[in-house]
Amino acid sequence: MRVLVIGAACAVLLAPAAMAGHGKVGTWQVTTKMGGMDNAMVKMPDMSKMPPEVQARMKAHGVQMNPGGGMTTKYCMTEDQVKNDKPQLTRPDSPCKAANMSVKGNTFSADVVCTGEMNGKGHTEVTFDSPEHYKGHQTMTMTREGQTMTHEMFMDAKWLSPTCTVPAGH
């Protein structure tokens, strides 16, 4: 389960801020669904069965586990992030870093490399179809303690409000 929780956390960290001219300042909600997993041990956990302290941390970061898999989280997109033409894919303290970032029209793509407890790499692509909505797709292959998992994650995000109801970076 620890591999899953870390993998799910990495997925949430990869909710991108806007590209220049795309997106809006304020609270965004991102729903992610996992697919194409090749490791039977990787299933989205039932949040009610997680330890109370884990549930509390996830809720404090705006994460909600969805029935049937996937999760929903909220984050604040700042004015600086909206103005930046290179989205921030990960938090500064994340073991994952973006590389080979590219913007073509309203689509952003990047490779992701993770080091530390979990090592791996993947590719992310996000398309804004309006300033208030984007969809994305990510593939990742991660290894931890000799176990490798490959998964796909699908993102669907919508802008909720011009007011940030969660801390910036969450």
What pLDDT, in 10s, does the model give residues 77-119? 888 888 776 666 666 778 888 889 888 888 889 999 988 888 9
Please calculate the CA angle 108-13-151 and round it to the nearest 5 degrees. 80
Q: How far apart are CA 65 and CA 57, in angstroms?
A: 13
The partner residues of 8 in beta bridges, in order of sequence, read none
- In this prediction, residue 111 carries a pLDDT of 93
Positive or negative, the CA dihedral 6, 24, 110, 154 is positive
- On whether the pTM is more than 0.75, the answer is no
Bridge-based pairing of strands 96-104 and 119-130 is unpaired
- In this prediction, residue 103 carries a pLDDT of 86
- In this prediction, residue 100 carries a pLDDT of 92
Q: How far apart are CA 97 and CA 95, in angstroms?
A: 7
- In this prediction, residue 132 carries a pLDDT of 93
- In this prediction, residue 7 carries a pLDDT of 45
| Residue 135 burial (CB count, 10 A) | 13
- In this prediction, residue 170 carries a pLDDT of 47
- In this prediction, residue 161 carries a pLDDT of 93
Number of H helices, E strands in the chain: 3, 8
The residue written with tokens 């970076």 in the block is 169
- What does residue 55 show for φ and ψ, rounded to 5 degrees? -60, -45
Q: Which two tokens stand for residue 159?
A: 């802008």
- In this prediction, residue 82 carries a pLDDT of 80
> Which residue positions in the chain have pLDDT lower than 50?
1-14, 38-43, 169-170
